[in-house]
């Protein structure tokens, strides 16, 4: 059976995508194929493995806009939040622990997810799991440090979001290590329990 490969996105699709972001959200775009959203202007991004991201979202409930691309989840947070991540991780006592959690801030970019209601061009393409609402809604729902310029939205505090994301990244890493140890243990050797 032949594998169906979707056609590459046309320049018109890319133009429509860029125009949607400018018109609906007032967000800048760069590039043409794929269209990219610069970070540090309207939002920053916390990026983590999708499985850990889903678990973190279950823990905190409502969050700001969330995008998926392949096996990576991108949580949109208030512009400037990327600079706060190292300090927050230290303060939350996650500093020095290897986590698959990073932040993309000023000078960075992400691939623009396909606008809501449209189909992704290829498997693994970026799409909105939780799309931004209107221009005003998108800004109000971006997690930020509590008490600093509260926008009256219903998004979680940035500290709570980072703590949940770090916890789930760590849990995923421990689970992976357990699976690795179990599948790579010497055969014929009994397990030691204390």
The tens digit of pLDDT for each residue in 28-42 reads 999 878 899 999 999
pLDDT in tens, 60-74: 887 889 999 999 999
Report d(CA 59, CA 1) in Å as an integer: 42
Q: Structural domain boundaries of the chain?
A: 40-177
List of residues 6+ apart from 17 with CB closer than 8 A: 29, 35, 112, 114, 115
pTM metric for this prediction: 0.81
CA distances from 128 to 38, 66, 79 (A): 16, 6, 19
Per residue in 6-28, pLDDT (tens digit) is 334 454 567 788 999 999 999 99
Residue recorded with tokens 């357990």: 178
Split at pLDDT 50, 70, 90, the class of 144 is confident
Burial 21-49 (b: 16+ CB within 10 A, else e): beebbebebeeeebbbbbbbebbbbbbbb
Mean pLDDT taken over the chain: 83
Residue 148, pLDDT score: 46
The more confidently predicted of residues 141 and 170 is: 170
- Per-residue pLDDT of 84-108, as tens digits, reads 999 999 999 998 899 999 999 999 9
Whether the pLDDT of residue 187 is over 90: the answer is no
- Segment 40-62 mean pLDDT: 93
- Look up residue 73 and give its two tokens: 């989840």
């Amino acid at each position: 059976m032949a594998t169906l490969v979707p056609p590459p996105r046309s320049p018109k699709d890319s133009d429509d995508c860029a125009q949607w972001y400018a018109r609906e959200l007032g967000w800048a775009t760069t590039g043409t194929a794929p269209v990219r959203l610069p970070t540090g202007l309207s939002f920053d991004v916390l990026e983590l493995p999708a499985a850990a991201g889903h678990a973190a979202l279950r823990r905190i409930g409502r969050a700001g806009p969330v995008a998926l691309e392949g096996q990576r989840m991108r949580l949109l947070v208030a512009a400037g939040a990327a600079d706060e991540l190292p300090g927050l991780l230290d303060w939350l006592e996650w500093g020095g622990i290897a986590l698959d959690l990073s932040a993309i801030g000023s000078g960075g970019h992400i691939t623009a997810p396909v606008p809501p209601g449209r189909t992704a061009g290829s498997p693994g393409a970026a799409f909105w799991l939780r799309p931004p609402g209107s221009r005003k809604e998108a800004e109000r729902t971006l997690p930020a440090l509590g008490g600093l310029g509260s926008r009256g939205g219903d998004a979680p505090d940035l500290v709570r979001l980072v703590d949940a994301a770090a916890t789930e990244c760590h849990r995923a890493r421990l689970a992976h290590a357990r699976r690795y140890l179990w599948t790579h243990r010497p055969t014929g050797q009994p397990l030691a329990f204390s």
